[in-house]
Structure 1
Amino acid sequence: MARTDNDTWDLASSVGSTATMVAAQRVLSTREGLIDDPYAEPLVRAVGLDFFVRALDGEVNLDDIDPRFNTRRAAEGMAVRTRHFDGLFADAARDGVRQAVILASGLDARAYRLPWPAGTTVFELDQPEVIAFKTQTLAQLGAEPTADRRALAVDLRDDWPKVLLDSGFDPTQPTAWIAEGLLIYLPPEAQDLLFDRIDELSAAGSRVACEHIPDVSMFADERSQEIAARLKAYGHDIEMGELIYHGERNDVVDYLSARGWDVTTQKMPDAYAANGFTFDESTTIGLFSDMSYLSAVKR
């Protein structure tokens, strides 16, 4: 279903289902010993989307969906992504940053699984149903946050800075921000607004990490459509081309640089190499060869 201005979702529908998809990939990466996210699997199973549960149970063969892809390659791709964002938080903590914000947190369990230094506050922002589900499910699992977790139920299209400030966020202190897997689901103007707000709320020494995808047309090309058709045969009905916003948007690197941030990027092939993996252009991951992982520090 195509996006609308005021659409909402839970973790089994629309954009929310992509958060469950990412968590399922984190399960594969954890099983391969590439990352450690013990909460991903119980969270995915609690959501209960049939395709992902069957995938975790070995009833979906990735080789049948794309012969050039397999479980190991899916696990490596998620390991590269997860390590990038984990690394942003680890570097910030090492440098004394004690305030973190996870935007569109979905099934992200970093507030529970990372070794946060004492005195760290982690703010999580997402749709009310998403926040409520994850908080309740983790509580039922007996999970305890490793930081002062403040879960904020707010739509990022609304005045989330006010909600953040009202919840004890201190804009005079440096902050570590991540916007993992978020930008493509925002209209171009909303992407600009997101970074305007981050910039306004960030003291010197703040960090931010996100993906930089210069061309989202990859989600609608012939190869992507072929894979989507194969996935539908297994009951997977996420249509990425309908969930993302197309059209030209400002370059994130230029946008942040112009606002006083020192930006570094690492293209996917280089990110794979840095993690000891081989980036195979002939596989599905080859669609993302121009994508970069971005991190920036505010001067």
Structure 2
Amino acid sequence: MEIKPILVQAPAIHLIVQSHFPVSNHRKIRNCRFKITAKTNFHQDNGHHHPYFQSAITRASFRFRESLRSEPLFVDPYAGCFAPPDLELDENLNQKLHHYCVGTRFIDDQLLSATKGVDGAKQVVLFTDGMDTRAYRLKWPSSTVIFDVSPQAVFNTASQKLQDVGAKIPRSCLHLHVPLESSDMQQLLCDKGFNASRPSIWVFQGFPITNLAAFKEILFMVSSLAMKGCLFLGELPMWLTETQVGIKSSVEKWMYEIFMSYGFRVRIIGYDEVAKNLGQKHAVGDSDYLLFVAEHLRFSDYEMEIWRREFQRVEEEGDEDGFEEL
């Protein structure tokens, strides 16, 4: 099956402006005609100087800025809950298109496409930074189960903040958290209810990893649990490629070898390609990430076990029939 990028029209969503903004300023903020400063009480609590918090807040700030553009790629109604108190938004806001936002829109579209319909994947596994709001802001089909694998402390703080502003999971859907710190994420994911006999889609964006070995563990887990044909997509830090940045063939070769060793056929998606398909100008500057989509070509461990049992049953029945003939 050829992997093709899927782009769909983002639904209109009402933007929840942070409660610290006066109501009279809402229209001005939406039009972005002058410089403003986002204010929030998110940083008044202690313990938010950890790198996990800082990187998650940075990404949320990108989503907040994108949501305020006159023609945004997407609207995140809740990103403002996490914006730092000194975040500045100026008159040039509409001219700036960040790679992370392009990647976020691309991933959103893939998720909405993969989960729609009766045969759509109703299990979504998100490897995130803990402040991902997709479980709240996307229109999920009924009975979708969203697993968020992320740092415990960030997720707990973000969940409380989202609850404070009234964010809710769509009805008949389920949102479950799997801590990054788990000694066995794969087992905990199954204990939480992940069913390896059902279709799933996996996303990797913002998840903190320290080395290539850690990412290989993620690939191993997805390969073990995902059924054949399932998709794994997201953004991979460029520094993981362990090759010279700028040599596209080397990067693509590295990606192919790493992913194929775990049973995935991968394709690198150009940010400019996505932006162009959306009718947008190319993103500013170079990206530190690789946007990718990978299709799982192997059977999951569960599927292999079912096949093994069936093969054993056929063999045993054949032996019994042969014995009776003798």
When normalised by structure 1's length, the TM-score is 0.70
Q: Kindly report which structure 2 residues correspond to 1:117-266, keeping only aligned pairs within 5 A, or say none.
A: 117-146=141-170, 147-155=173-181, 158-182=183-207, 185-215=209-239, 251-266=254-269
* Structure 2 unaligned regions, length at least 5: 1-45, 246-250, 298-326
Q: 2:113 corresponds to which residue?
A: 91
Deviation at 1:256, TM superposition (A): 2.0
The question of whether the paired residues in 2 share the 8 Å contact of 1:10 and 1:17 is answered with no
Deviation at 1:91, TM superposition (A): 2.1
* Rounded Cα–Cα distance in structure 1 between residues aligned with 2:228 and 2:271: 28
Residue 287 to residue 104, structure 1, CA distance change in 2 (3 Å): closer
The question of whether the paired residues in 2 share the 8 Å contact of 1:214 and 1:251 is answered with no
Q: 1:53 corresponds to which residue?
A: 85
* Rounded Cα–Cα distance in structure 1 between residues aligned with 2:190 and 2:229: 19
* Rounded Cα–Cα distance in structure 2 between residues aligned with 1:293 and 1:287: 10
Q: 2:77 corresponds to which residue?
A: 38
SS in 2 for 1:294: strand
**In percent, how many aligned pairs have the same letter?**
21
Residue 216 to residue 128, structure 1, CA distance change in 2 (3 Å): closer
Q: 2:273 corresponds to which residue?
A: 270
Residue 216 to residue 191, structure 1, CA distance change in 2 (3 Å): closer
Once the two structures are superposed, what CA deviation does each residue of 1:214-260 show, in whole Å capped at 9, x if it has no partner? 4469xxx9xxxxxxxxxxxxxxxxxxxxxxxxxx9x93333223433
* Structure 1 unaligned regions, length at least 5: 1-8, 45-51, 63-69, 222-247
Residue in structure 1 matching 2:54, options 10, 14, 17: 17
SS in 2 for 1:102: strand
Higher Cα Rg: structure 1 or 2?
2
The question of whether the paired residues in 1 share the 8 Å contact of 2:211 and 2:240 is answered with no
RMSD: 2.9
Residue 143 to residue 200, structure 1, CA distance change in 2 (3 Å): same
AA in 1 matched with 2:274 = A
* Rounded Cα–Cα distance in structure 2 between residues aligned with 1:21 and 1:73: 19
* Rounded Cα–Cα distance in structure 2 between residues aligned with 1:215 and 1:187: 9
What is the aligned length? Answer: 238
SS in 1 for 2:86: helix
The question of whether the paired residues in 1 share the 8 Å contact of 2:114 and 2:201 is answered with yes
Higher relative contact order (CA 8 A, sep 6+): 1
The question of whether the paired residues in 1 share the 8 Å contact of 2:130 and 2:152 is answered with no
